Amino acid sequence: MKGLVATGCLIASVLATGALAAPQSVPVPNSSPSFVAAADRMMEVAVNNTHLRAKPDSKSNRLATLKMGTKVDVMGMVNSGQWAHVKLGEKEGYIRADLLK
């Protein structure tokens, strides 16, 4: 809801002044991962028995267990670059970044 308010304020400012106002900081909820940077590149699993997780958390549900050398499409980095948001075939999930090369 705060994001909508901030967006509404920005639009009102542009309409009133014809110029963009300084961007307002909107907090990111703790329940969703904070994206650091988009990667969109292929990487390999560096360690045997690496888990693809539903969320960027080592206690999250395992979606798959991957072998060393498995190629994944890295779509972005989350949680200050500690986890990679990846796609493997039709599955999408998270792998600890230090387990990829």
Asked if residue 100 has pLDDT above 70, the reply is yes
Domain count for the chain: 2
**SS3 call for 51:** strand
42 & 87 share domain = yes
Question: pLDDT tens digit string along 37-88?
Answer: 455 789 999 999 999 999 999 999 999 999 999 999 999 999 999 999 999 9
73 & 91 share domain = yes
| Overall pTM > 0.75 | no
17 & 41 share domain = no
Contacts of 62 (CB under 8 A, 6+ apart): 51, 52, 53, 54
53 & 77 share domain = yes
Output the domain CATH number for residue 76: 2.30.30.40
Res. 32 pLDDT band, cuts 50 70 90: low
Alpha carbon distance 86, 92 (integer Å): 6
Q: In this structure, what token pair is assigned to residue 28? A: 């990111």
Query: Which pLDDT does position 58 carry in this prediction?
Result: 95
Cβ burial, residue 93 (10 Å; 0-12/13-18/19+): buried
50 & 89 share domain = yes
Query: Which pLDDT does position 40 carry in this prediction?
Result: 74
Alpha carbon distance 39, 65 (integer Å): 22
Q: In this structure, what token pair is assigned to residue 87? A: 């796609």
59 & 70 share domain = yes
Structural domain harbouring 3: 1-31
Query: Which pLDDT does position 42 carry in this prediction?
Result: 92
